[in-house]
Homo-oligomer: A and B are copies of this chain.
Amino acid sequence: MPRRRARSKEAKEAKRKHLLQAALHLFTNNGFQGTTIEMITDHAGESTGTFYLYFESKVDIYRSLTREAYDLLNTMMQEAVSWPGMNRLARISAAVHTYYRFYREHPGYYKVMNLLHIGQPDFITDSLRVDELNNNAVELLTYLSNIIQEGIDEGELAPVNAWETTNALWGMLDGIFLIEIRNNLDIAGVPLDVLIKQALDVLIEGLVRRNT
């Protein structure tokens, strides 16, 4: 039984999306090496061979997912932070909140973006693409750093080094999310939301109060 040919550009794009969706689902639940190409194609209703028509390799589809993840996060960020009339502090708060929403609403993308590739030897080898992904991260952080810098310039925030602070802030958020992921959701015995609030309170306190 021959499968439909993806003659039009749209049909091809749809097939690609299909495979990506399947892969996201499976990577999220079974990890990178716990997912086989066959699992992906089965899930997507395609054949093994077809997979290699759309992606170069297993690593390639993983990276495509990472790219999607960054695109999605960037879009969410843009929407959240660009309201006119927001002060810097509100923007930072919005950015942090958005990252949290991203983590909550798209846990698969979050994991793909930050975790699932850890310890996967394949990723180290071809440094070319790794850089591409790092660039995505840098772009996002730069964006936030600029906001913080503005806050500092305009006296809203303490005169810290903006870039360092951004990195620290971001790292801490990831660290907190990691608690949840690592512990299968609640070894701490505290809902993450509460933890997040706690952490942000501490952070913002530290960021702003110094001002005095």
**Are A195 and B178 CB-contacts (below 8 A) given A33-B33, A115-B119?**
no
Q: Is A70 an interface residue (CB 8 A)?
A: no
Q: How many copies does the complex hold?
A: 4
- The smallest C-beta distance from A24 to any residue of chain B, in angstroms, reads 14
Q: Is A72 an interface residue (CB 8 A)?
A: no
**Are A134 and B175 CB-contacts (below 8 A) given A119-B34, A121-B34, A203-B203?**
no
Q: Is A120 an interface residue (CB 8 A)?
A: yes
Chain B: CB-nearest residue to A121: B34
Bound complex: CA of A188 vs CA of B141, how far in Å? Answer: 9
Which residues of chain B come closer than 8 Å to A176, judged between CB atoms?
167-168, 171-172, 175
Chain A 144-183 residues near chain B, CB threshold 8 A: 160-161, 163-165, 167-179, 182-183
Q: Is A189 an interface residue (CB 8 A)?
A: yes
- The smallest C-beta distance from A41 to any residue of chain B, in angstroms, reads 16
Q: Is A138 an interface residue (CB 8 A)?
A: yes
**Of A8-16, A74-82, A85-93, A204-212, the one with at least 4 CB within 8 A of chain B:** A204-212
- The smallest C-beta distance from A131 to any residue of chain B, in angstroms, reads 9
- The smallest C-beta distance from A62 to any residue of chain B, in angstroms, reads 11
Q: Is A1 an interface residue (CB 8 A)?
A: no
- The smallest C-beta distance from A94 to any residue of chain B, in angstroms, reads 19
Interface pair B138/A167, CB less than 8 Å apart: no
Please tell me which one of the listed residues B116, B165, B179 contacts residue A167 in the complex, with CB atoms under 8 A apart.
Answer: B179
**Given A164-B188, A164-B198, A172-B176, 19 other A-B residues pairs in contact with their CB atoms under 8 A:** A33-B33, A115-B119, A117-B119, A119-B119, A137-B183, A137-B187, A160-B201, A161-B190, A165-B202, A168-B176, A168-B202, A171-B178, A172-B172, A178-B178, A202-B207, A203-B203, A203-B206, A205-B210, A209-B209
